[in-house]
Every structure is written in C-alpha cells, then in structure tokens.
Structure 1
Amino acid sequence: MNWKATYARLQIASTIAVAAVFGAGFWSFLIAGILNVTFEIGENESLLYFGAPLFLVFLVIFAKNLREPLRRAGLLSDPPESFESPRNRDNV
C-alpha cells in the first residue's frame, strides 16, 4: 500500500464520518424538538430519551449508507485501489 491509497482511505473515512455525524445530529435534534413541542415534555428529557438514541441509530445508518451518494455527488475521491501500482494489484 502506498501513501496515495492511504490518503484516499483516510479522506473517504473522514468525509463519511463528518457527514454522518452532521446528518445524525440534525435529524435527531429536529425529531427531539418536535416531540418536545408535541408532548410538552422538558427539553432535557426529550434530548436524553429521544435525541441520544436517535442520534446513535441515525449515525449507524448514515455511516453505512452514505458512501455511494457522496461518491455520486463528487465529494469522495477515487477508490483507494486506483492509486495502487499495477504490480501490487497482480500480486493480490
């Protein structure tokens, strides 16, 4: 493995992680806020009982499923395998 492939893997992982954390935080905060207003529970309780579990669920879902949409949008670099030399690809 060379440094270009390592950099591509790091870039892909960090981009997916940032997008997943942002998306999960946004949707869990929004849903917890709607539940807070709808059921008239406290802000702390809605974030603790609804926001935190939703954040974890959305984080796993987004981290698993965001790779292809981000690649189609042009936010991810080429696959790390494209940076490896042909000599290394044949030996695998």
Structure 2
Amino acid sequence: MNWRRLYAVSQIVGVVGSVSVGAAGFYAVIVIGVCRKLIGLSDNVSVFAIGFPFFIVLLVVFVKYLPRRLRKLGVLSDEPEKFGSWFKRN
C-alpha cells in the first residue's frame, strides 16, 4: 500500500469535507435567520423547506469547487497528478 496516496486521500476527504460542511452550515443558518426574522416565515418552513435544501446545494457546490481553491492556498499539499491514473482531477 502506498501511504502517500492514503495520506493524500484522507487529507482531501477530511479537509474538503469539514470545510464544506462548516461553510454550507454557516450560510444555511444565515439564510434560515433571514427567512425567519425579515420575511416572517415559521420555523418549520424556514428550516425544512428553505434551509435544508440550501444546505445540500451549497454542500455539493463546495465539494466540487473547494479542492482547487484549497490547493492554491496551500492547505492541500499534494497534487493528484502525483498519484497515478486512478486519482486524477476532473
């Protein structure tokens, strides 16, 4: 087993996953608060009809676009091209 590949995969999954969940949750909470306070929607409507779908959409967007940005910032250290054909960036 190549430990560098395992480290790179675990780093990408861990960092990108946690940053994506945190950022999507943060923005979803802001949208829920705006829906509740400014628009005047009920708790159930603002959380389940608006907040949860918004969270899922943002999570998908962040998972798709964050790895490239995090590599530019130096948070993710290894480039996928170093690890062979099975681990390529799309």
TM over 0.5: yes
Q: Distance in 2 between matches of 1:81 and 1:28?
A: 34
State the partner residue of 1:73: 73
Q: Distance in 2 between matches of 1:66 and 1:80?
A: 14
Extract structure 1 runs of 4+ deviating beyond 3 A.
Answer: none
User: TM-score, normalising length from structure 2?
Assistant: 0.82
State the partner residue of 1:49: 49
Q: What one-letter code is carried by the residue in structure 2 that aligns with 1:54?
A: F
1:64 positional shift: 0.3
Matches for 1:33-44 after TM superposition, within 5 Å: 33-44=33-44
Q: What one-letter code is carried by the residue in structure 2 that aligns with 1:43?
A: D
Which structure has the higher relative contact order (CA within 8 Å, separation 6+)?
1
Q: CA RMSD in A?
A: 1.9
Aligned sequence identity (%)? 36
1:79 positional shift: 2.0
Larger Rg: 1
Q: Distance in 2 between matches of 1:73 and 1:44?
A: 38
State the partner residue of 2:30: 30
1:8 positional shift: 0.9
1:29 positional shift: 1.0
Matches for 1:54-65 after TM superposition, within 5 Å: 54-65=54-65
1:17–1:63 CA contact under 8 A, matched in 2? yes
Secondary structure of the equivalent of 1:66? Answer: helix
State the aligned residue count: 85
